[in-house]
Amino acid sequence: MRFLIAGNWKMNGSRAMLAELDRIAEAAAAQTQVDVAIAPPFTLLADARPRAGQVWIGGQDCHQAAKGAHTGSISADMLIEMGARFVICGHSERRAEFGESDSLIQAKAQAAQTAGLTAIVCVGEDEPERDEGRAVMVVAGELDGSVPPASNARNLVISYEPAWAIGTGRTPTMAEICEMHAMIRAKLIQILGEEGTRVRILYGGSVNPGNAAQILACPDVNGALIGGASLTADTFVPIVRTASAVGANVSQ
Ligand code: PGA
């Protein structure tokens, strides 16, 4: 399966930071084996699109309604109009800071898909859930609650992101990542049937140029969602190149 390497700039970046996107776009054009994506803040989308080349541009959130009296929110159609191809739904920071529930995330992903976007639906346990041995159960429940049941491999990507690994420099063991991704694959097949075999499953949480090769070598890891290391081309581009090299090995 073709890797997707997606960067999430979160609430970082001004117009000046689009110089990083220029360099990422240049590198992505040379790596034809990998899909590359960047989610800048909403305010940079319009300026980002013409500079993105083959890099997919997307949003970090959208509202579940198509339009209306929802002060401060952005609809999926608005993202499309700015040239977005995808939107991140249910990132753990949205779940924790804004109390987003599985059913709300499912509604947002559904709205995104209806508008023509690919929804990157995030799932992942927090630290107490991992310590108590409940991580797999928690993630399975989140998938049941937040994956739109009519999704397909074109309009859905899953990202497994243990909350305790985000921005901390800590990652699960390879065995833990492989175990979780295998469970997610099985669950996607249960929910979506045959189509579930083709949905990409990303890993997110402290991915960097030093650990990307090992993580991407896990079966059923089909790419990465990257926060901190996506903020500069110096750290993001090596991960894109690694994915291209690992992808070439996998398909041999
Ligand atoms: P991080 O963030 O790479 O900074 O850990 C990952 C994410 O939140 O997607």
Spacing, Cα 9 to ligand 1 middle (Å): 9
Residue-level pLDDT at 247? 87
Residues with catalytic roles: 91, 161
Spacing, Cα 226 to ligand 1 middle (Å): 5
Q: Indicate if ligand 1 lies below 6 Å from the C-beta of 122.
A: no
- Give per-residue pLDDT as tens, 73-125: 999 999 999 999 999 999 999 999 999 999 999 999 999 999 999 999 999 99
- Give the atom of ligand 1 at the shortest distance from the alpha carbon of 208: 3
The tokens describing 97, both together, are 């800071």
Q: Indicate if ligand 1 lies below 6 Å from the C-beta of 8.
A: yes
Model's pTM, two decimal places? 0.97
- Give the atom of ligand 1 at the shortest distance from the alpha carbon of 228: 4
Helix axes 135-146, 102-115, angle to 10 degrees: 50
Spacing, Cα 181 to ligand 1 middle (Å): 17
The tokens describing 25, both together, are 């776009």
pLDDT over 70 for what percent of the chain? 98
Q: Which residues of 1-32 are buried (b: 16+ CB within 10 A; e: fewer)?
A: bebbbbbbbbeebeeebbebbeebbebbeebe
Cα distance between residue 151 and residue 162, in whole Å? 23
- Give per-residue pLDDT as tens, 115-168: 999 999 999 999 999 999 999 999 999 999 999 999 999 999 999 999 999 999
- Give the atom of ligand 1 at the shortest distance from the alpha carbon of 159: 9
Establish how many alpha carbons lie within 13 A of residue 94's alpha carbon, considering only the half-sphere containing its beta carbon. Answer: 20
Among 92, 166, 236, the mutation site with the greatest number of ligand 1 atoms within 8 A of its Cβ is: 166
